[in-house]
Amino acid sequence: TAAEKGGYDSFMEKEIHEQPAAVRDTLMGRLDENGNLTLDDMKIDDAILRSIDKIIVVACGTAAYAGQVARYAIEHWCRIPTEVELAHEFRYRDPIVNEKTLVVSLSQSGETMDTLMAVRHAQEQGAKVVSICNTNGSTLPRESDAVLYTHAGPEIAVASTKAFLSQITAAYLLGLYLAQLRGNMFKDEIKTILAELQEMPEKIQKLIDNEQQVKDLGTSMKDADSVLFLGRHVGFPVALEGALKLKEIAYIHAEGFAAGELKHGPIALIEEGQPVFIVVPSPNGRDSLHSKVVSNIQEVRARGAVTIVIAEEGDEAVKAYSDHLITIPASPSLLQPLLSTVPLQVFACALAAAKGYDVDQPRNLAKSVTVE
């Protein structure tokens, strides 16, 4: 009903707007009075967590993209080799799993059968399982050795939004927790990142307050029949998620690519008028990734693409090559997905609504897929 939608046209819109709270609530109560991370539900022996030599994240759909984002952070912070795999592929490829493997399942519903089967398979080989889940008492957390709940609140729209940001947040907490436990990082470093994480809800709110530009863009592009998304590093899974949102609710052919892969194939797709979103890393980040992605914007634009650039406020380098420029607050590189995803959600939602589609109940999809 209209009341349940809190004055918004759709649950998806409402849930996009709930993201500052979703991230804040997922962080809440997980720091002790000294600013140290405490995960009460982490009921796996410290000795076991210290001995693990591999992490495998299993998930489906949007949750799997949250896993891909988390991988960059977990490997960087914990120095534990981390794989992310679609649960249905993992289960059937005879994966190498043993007592030293930590499997992390990511699931909004906690009922996705593919993910559940992957978890059971891993447990049979002796792996410990942590589930990051948004639904209290659902099957995945019940069958896992430990659970880290996301506190996004119930998500009604089929296309996931606030659960995604909460999953990234929770997976980051898990990464920091392991780094703390295993002594990979100094306490102060961890505290700094936690403080930066706590600033994210306010930055997400700022994006939402300025969403009108993105909504208008979505409405104006309602007749697009193909949209491409480029990103690099953590921006790569964000690009994949942006494309998925558009497929799910606007039924538009959309694809996400790693920006570095452009020259190895996808650039052949670019022709006059092709809309391309580009998620630009922070100009202050490491490894000159920023300039590489700016070059990619130039390359697609030179071939006729209409560029829609998502970049940090104050990023002067992108201005000359952006047909549309969407700015996001500055943040540490690893935290940028919590911001750069939001305009992509708003865009898909506005575009689908402009086409007259039911954004909450897209055709052929279910919120939770409880069959294999």
Pick one of 19, 82, 112, 205: the residue that binds ligand G6P (CB under 6 A). Answer: 112
Q: How many residues bind ligand G6P (CB under 6 A)?
A: 16
Nearer to ligand G6P, 164 or 257 (CB): 164
Residue 256 makes contact with ligand G6P by CB under 6 A: no
Site string for ligand G6P, 280-309 (x = CB under 6 A): ------------------------------
Nearer to ligand G6P, 258 or 369 (CB): 369
Residue 63 makes contact with ligand G6P by CB under 6 A: yes
- Yes or no: say if 130 and 145 are a contact pair by the CB < 8 Å rule: yes
C-alpha triplet 21, 218, 268: angle, nearest 5°:
115
- Rounded to whole angstroms, how far apart are CA atoms 159 and 194? 28
Q: Token pair for residue 89?
A: 């592929």
For this structure, is 100 an active site residue?
A: no
**Cβ of residue 73: shortest distance to ligand G6P, in angstroms?**
19
Catalytic residue among 5, 247, 355, 367: 367
Q: Are strands 275-279 and 253-258 parallel, antiparallel or unpaired?
A: unpaired
- Yes or no: say if 83 and 55 are a contact pair by the CB < 8 Å rule: yes
Nearer to ligand G6P, 107 or 341 (CB): 107
- Rounded to whole angstroms, how far apart are CA atoms 156 and 361? 9
Instruction: Give strand pairing partners of 253.
Output: 226
Nearer to ligand G6P, 12 or 39 (CB): 12
Nearer to ligand G6P, 159 or 309 (CB): 159
What residues between 81 and 110 interact with ligand G6P by CB under 6 A?
107-109
Q: Token pair for residue 239?
A: 């690009």
The dihedrals phi and psi of 149, each to the nearest 5 degrees, come to: -80, 140
Amino acid identity at 52: I
Residue 341 makes contact with ligand G6P by CB under 6 A: no
Helix axes 235-250, 337-354, angle to 10 degrees: 20
Run of H or E including 256: strand 253-258
**Cβ of residue 57: shortest distance to ligand G6P, in angstroms?**
12
- Rounded to whole angstroms, how far apart are CA atoms 314 and 184? 33
What residues between 136 and 195 interact with ligand G6P by CB under 6 A?
158-160
User: Which positions are annotated as active-site residues?
Assistant: 367
List residues near ligand G6P by CB under 6 A.
60-63, 107-109, 112, 115, 158-160, 365, 367-369
